[in-house]
Amino acid sequence: MSVSTIFHLISSAPKPVAPYSHAVEADGLVFVTGQLATDPDDDSRPLPDGIEAQTHKVMDNLRRVLLGIGLNFVDVICVRIFLTQFERDYAAMNAIYATYFAPDRLPARTTVGVTHLARGGIIEIDLVAKRGRCRNGRRRRRNFSATR
């Protein structure tokens, strides 16, 4: 069985800082490239200060990619978070992150501390979303009230 792969570049998302697609889709899974807190309208602007501002901007950039391919945070099944100051920023990042997902639909997640991120960012997040239907054959219900 042949699986079609789609490489997505989203015009409303931040310009890639290296040679990559914003998302790659295969067999109903959508792999979204890690996003930094870059400004999608002006890549030359400095990143915002602090974990709160950078977390919100990263989530906004991820939303732009998801919406660009007809998905939203309700479709996310797995998240990876990279923090340069893990001990300092973990709790504050978690408080903001939690507002983007319904409490009963939290994706699987890994959070790791790293030594450095591109552009001097202090947080980067990538994710995997799933397009399609639930096990019972019904289209997954989109609960947009649970997303920011």
Q: Where are the domains of the chain?
A: 5-146
pTM (2 d.p.):
0.87
Contact indicator for 40, 14 with CB cutoff of 8 Å: yes
Contact indicator for 111, 83 with CB cutoff of 8 Å: yes
**Predicted pLDDT at 63:** 98
**Predicted pLDDT at 17:** 80
Q: Give domain 5-146's CATH superfamily.
A: RutC-like (3.30.1330.40)
Contact indicator for 117, 124 with CB cutoff of 8 Å: yes
DSSP assignment string, 43-79: TTSPPPSSHHHHHHHHHHHHHHHHHHTT--GGGEEEE
Size (the chain), residues: 148
CA atoms within 13 A on the CB side of 79: 23
Instruction: Kindly report, residue by residue over 44-83, the tens digit of the pLDDT.
Output: 899 999 999 999 999 999 999 999 999 999 999 999 999 9
